[in-house]
Chains A and B, each alone.
Chain A
Amino acid sequence: MALDKNQIAKRISQEVQNNYYVNLGIGIPTLVANYIPKGIDVEFQSENGVLGMGSFPYEGEEDPDVINAGKQTITTLPGASFFDSAMSFGMIRGQHVDLTILGAMEVAENGDIANWKIPGKMVKGMGGAMDLVASADNIIVAMMHVNKAGESKILKRCTLPLTGVGCVKKVVTELAVLEVTPKGFKLLERAPGVSVEQIIASTEATLIIEGEIPEMILA
């Protein structure tokens, strides 16, 4: 069974280590916050200028002056701080943020990522994504393996305008966990009940498959 979005988030949450500062992108990455295991202390940074982001506010307690980068109303935890955009991206470019989790339209086996534009069709802009992918050492991409037409988004080379070059380290999809290596994507894990053959069929990029590929553990 392919994973749903929450299960992708749950699998990614296992990559979050104690005392990490983490930046979560919009979409599936935001869900990761719901699955941080007990005993792991993390602080979430949102690039519009907050560190120590908490959960959504209770109804009636929304503050229009306290939002995340997805423009959603949020709360802050004790010890949180606010800062301006230049300082926020100073944290990001200065590599003070330990882990970046973001979505993508395409990733390639050389670590390139595309997620901000479909020429002539969709232009939303890169927001903070270009700064994040160019700066972070530790980038995990949360995405769907294939698009709605069934075409692979895990490619030899990206076809869409790039967000960053050679920067992705790990990809978690509804089918698999992939690691970007100098030789291409290495298949690390498969979704429960999904076969290696299924993953190969859904992947345009070259896959490095060594030995038995274990199933993800999502308990």
Chain B
Amino acid sequence: MSWRGTQQFFVIDLYNEELFPAPEAVNFEGFALLPKLKKDAMINKKVNNVQEALAGIENGMTLMLGGFGLCGIPENAIAELLKKQTHNLCCISNNAGVDDFGLGLLLQKKQIKKMISSYVGENDEFERQMLSGELEVELLPQGTLAERCRAAQTGIPAFFTPAGFGTEVAIGKETREFNGKMHVMELAFKADFAIVKAWKGDTAGNLIFKGTARNLNPCMAGAAKITIAEVEELVATGTLDPNQIHIPGIFVQRIFQGEKYEKRIEQRTTRKRA
């Protein structure tokens, strides 16, 4: 009878009559033992606002933040961190925003002690703080950064990648030859909170991303002790098509709808109409 150990009672509570035939119609013994199935019993991850979502984030913690440049960044959470004045943060994020938007806002207020990123151009304050030594910076190949998130998400403690072999990125790291080519060992990240931004989400924590705003967000979901998702549109469970979900709710602990999204464009490039 023990099917999922301590979670067993939980699982029983979740089954829905409409999704699942009545127990007597099921031949598989394990399922037949489940009592009457219940509707609308998905785990509710919804929190009311950004303040509730960020509860527990303290000075000195390590945060993962999704986004590529200013595309797909958790704008509302960053604004709240600025308001809360949480400081001494270690931020794992592909970029550090621009001077007056994204993580650049937290840099201006010296709330960030260390950045782990792959590209930090387009941010004068970042470059200034780094070159003066005020800010600790670990630069990593972008694929390595993404994979270290994914490794944390998926329970892989370390992996080997060819990226960075023979460069200063590999200094102090184990290297090994596979198939005649040298590789560098990289470790899964360890973070307290992951803050991701999605296009749509439901109260069960399921996420759908839009366009290239997807980027590192799906890799970071579930890669920290607690994952917070902010979404442009939060809908009731059952509204999203299960076939279209990019990140299942199991990777998300808290979800809220962002109050507003500025979605600033870094490089507005267009062509003239013929």
A residues with a Cβ closer than 8 A to B are 46-50, 55-59, 61-74, 82-86, 88-89, 92-93, 112, 116, 120, 122-131, 134-135, 161-166
Contact = CB atoms under 8 A, between A and B. Distances in A.
Interface in B111-135: 117-122, 127, 130-131
Contacts of A73: 265, 267-270
Closest 3 interchain pairs by CB? A89-B143, A165-B166, A131-B143
B245 to A, nearest CB: 13
A162 B267 CA distance: 28
B267 A85 contact: no
A164 B215 contact: no
A56 B271 contact: yes
Nearest to B144: A131
B212 A123 contact: no
B39 interface: no
Contact of A65 (B122, B127, B211, B267): B211
A207 B15 CA distance: 72
B71 A59 contact: no
Given A84-B217, A127-B119, A67 B71 contact: yes
Interface centre among B72, B141, B211, B267, by most chain A C-beta atoms within 10 angstroms, is B141
B264 interface: yes
A163 B167 contact: yes
Given A57-B271, A74-B269, A162 B166 contact: yes
Interface stretch (B16-24, B26-34, B157-165): B157-165
A89 B147 contact: yes
Interface residues of B, number: 60
A83 B212 CA distance: 7
B70 to A, nearest CB: 7
B215 A93 contact: no
A164 B168 CA distance: 10
Chain A interface, >50% SS class: loop
Given A84-B215, A84-B219, A64 B71 contact: yes
B168 A82 contact: no
A65 B71 contact: yes
Given A49-B214, A67-B71, A58 B118 contact: no
21 contacts: A48-B215, A50-B212, A56-B271, A62-B269, A64-B71, A66-B211, A83-B214, A84-B209, A86-B150, A88-B146, A93-B163, A123-B131, A124-B120, A126-B140, A127-B119, A130-B142, A131-B141, A134-B141, A134-B161, A134-B162, A134-B163
Contacts of B50: none
Contacts of A164: 165-167
Given A56-B271, A62-B270, A84-B218, A125 B146 contact: no
B263 interface: yes
B142 A128 contact: yes
Interface in B186-214: 199, 209-214
Given A123-B127, A125-B117, A58 B273 contact: yes
Contacts of A84: 146, 209, 214-219, 246
Nearest to B143: A89
B135 to A, nearest CB: 11
B94 interface: yes
A70 B267 CA distance: 8
Contacts of A83: 214
B219 A85 contact: yes
Nearest to A47: B142
A72 B167 CA distance: 29
A4 B131 CA distance: 33
Interface centre among B127, B167, B213, by most chain A C-beta atoms within 10 angstroms, is B167
A52 B137 CA distance: 34
B218 A48 contact: no
A93 B143 contact: yes
A126 B118 CA distance: 6
